[in-house]
Structure 1
Amino acid sequence: MKRSPRLLLALSILLIGSGTLRLSGGIQIPAVLADEAETCVDTTPEVLAALNDRSDRLDQREDILNTRAREIAEEEEALTAYIAEMEATKASLEDMLNLADNAVENDLARLTEVYQNMKPRDATALFTAMDPDFAAGFLARMRPDAAAAIMSGLSPETAYTISAVLAGRFTNVTVDEALTRP
């Protein structure tokens, strides 16, 4: 095995340098660097205490935020349940209103049929006693021949009043009202 002269030279220089350093008392740290090292060592506990204090404060804030997040989630869940309950109540009320509307409509249809099937003289006596708006509502639902027989038996003033109500029922109605009227 052949050794390279450069390698031997490099090793020799390193060994001589190492021996010289040992004999001279080692490497001396300049005074400025030594003072800074002492300052760093002196302030390290203060920095660590400050960092620990900040870490504790951040942990407390995190706990507060987590608590608030849980409270918000609970409130959101409660609101969602309340909204669902209100929607169910609304649906129930709409069902009841539809039922009531159907019952009213059935009652009006039945009563209109009763008035149509009465003798015109007897129905005229009833319609004379009725409020003109109320009477006009029934007459509008009746077959034209039955309504005519009743109207012919009314006094001219009463027949005129009911006719005016019938003619003016939809004059002041808005589009929304007209769409919702039967």
Structure 2
Amino acid sequence: MRPRLLPAMLGAMVLLLAVKMQGLPLLPSGPSPTLGLVAPARAGSESRPAAPSPPAPRPTQAAPPEAPTPEQQAERALLEGLRARRTELEAREQALASREMVLAATEKRLAQRIEELAGLQQRLQAFDRTLGEREEAGWRQMVKLYEGMRPRDAAAIFDELETPVLLQILDRMGERKAAPVLGAMKPERARSITTELARHRARPVD
């Protein structure tokens, strides 16, 4: 039996060497038995239904708030009253500040107005003095004119003058100049103007 095994072993070795040299696959083509076993197992795992997920936990309901105690209610009412009082006081303070601003502006305008009126009064008084001085200068000039005339000529004019104008002239004339003129005037006119002149001089001076 040894002579028979030796040629067989030699032939097998030669065949194996030839296969390696030609790069031929040693195993026959076809699906591998291992792949065949794995595929059914994978298919079986894919066809198996997935396990149901556990249910989500339900949210726990909060416990109802406790009712406030009478002390808490009283404290809350007190705080609300203080808050309302503070709001009222702030509103009053703002109103007072606004009134003070208005009063300050009003006082400033009144002070300016009083100052303007005082200046206007001073100007009016100065104008009155100037006007009075001019008026007095005019009367003095007119008196000087009549005093330089002859008494008879002046009396003829005085008989025709209005009483207020004649009073201003006679009041400024000297007695020695006025007496001859009054004597030359008409008796009735001279008598009435003398009475009016006495009343005019008896009036208090402003």
**Match among 144, 147, 153 for residue 184 of structure 2:** 153
Aligned pair 1:61/2:92, yes or no? Answer: yes
Q: How many residues align?
A: 139
**Match among 70, 87, 93 for residue 118 of structure 2:** 87
Structure 1 residues 119-134: aligned runs within 5 Å? 119-134=150-165
- 1:116 corresponding residue in structure 2: 147
Give me the whole-angstrom Cα distance separating, in 2, the residues matched to 1:85 and 1:68. Answer: 25
Give me the whole-angstrom Cα distance separating, in 1, the residues matched to 2:70 and 2:198. Answer: 103
Note if contact 1:120-1:153 (Cα within 8 Å) is conserved in structure 2.
Answer: yes
**Match among 88, 109, 128 for residue 97 of structure 1:** 128
Query: Match for 1:59: what amino acid?
Result: E
Give me the whole-angstrom Cα distance separating, in 2, the residues matched to 1:143 and 1:50. Answer: 91
Aligned pair 1:70/2:101, yes or no? Answer: yes
Give the deviation of 1:127 after TM superposition: 0.8
- 2:76 corresponding residue in structure 1: 45
Q: Any idea what SS the aligned residue of 1:125 has?
A: helix
Give me the whole-angstrom Cα distance separating, in 1, the residues matched to 2:201 and 2:145. Answer: 26
Give the deviation of 1:42 after TM superposition: 4.3
Give me the whole-angstrom Cα distance separating, in 2, the residues matched to 1:58 and 1:76. Answer: 26
Give the deviation of 1:112 after TM superposition: 0.6
Q: Any idea what SS the aligned residue of 1:48 has?
A: helix
Give me the whole-angstrom Cα distance separating, in 1, the residues matched to 2:201 and 2:179. Answer: 21
- 1:165 corresponding residue in structure 2: 196
- 2:137 corresponding residue in structure 1: 106
Give me the whole-angstrom Cα distance separating, in 2, the residues matched to 1:140 and 1:170. Answer: 8
The TM-score, its normalising length taken from structure 1, stands at 0.67
1:43–1:113 Cα change, 3 Å: same
Could you give the per-residue CA deviations for residues 63-115 of structure 1, whole angstroms, max 9, x where no partner exists? 11111111111111111111111111111111111111111111111111111
Q: Any idea what SS the aligned residue of 2:96 has?
A: helix
Q: Which runs of 5+ in 1 are unaligned?
A: 1-37
Alignment RMSD: 2.2
Q: Which runs of 5+ in 2 are unaligned?
A: 1-68
1:168–1:65 Cα change, 3 Å: closer
Give me the whole-angstrom Cα distance separating, in 1, the residues matched to 2:72 and 2:167. Answer: 103
Give the deviation of 1:130 after TM superposition: 0.8
Give me the whole-angstrom Cα distance separating, in 2, the residues matched to 1:133 and 1:106. Answer: 17
Structure with higher Rg: it is: 2
Work out the percentage of aligned pairs sharing the same amino acid.
25
The TM-score, its normalising length taken from structure 2, stands at 0.60
Note if contact 2:152-2:181 (Cα within 8 Å) is conserved in structure 1.
Answer: yes
Aligned pair 1:144/2:175, yes or no? Answer: yes
- Structure 1 stretches of 4+ moved >6 Å: none
Q: Any idea what SS the aligned residue of 2:122 has?
A: helix
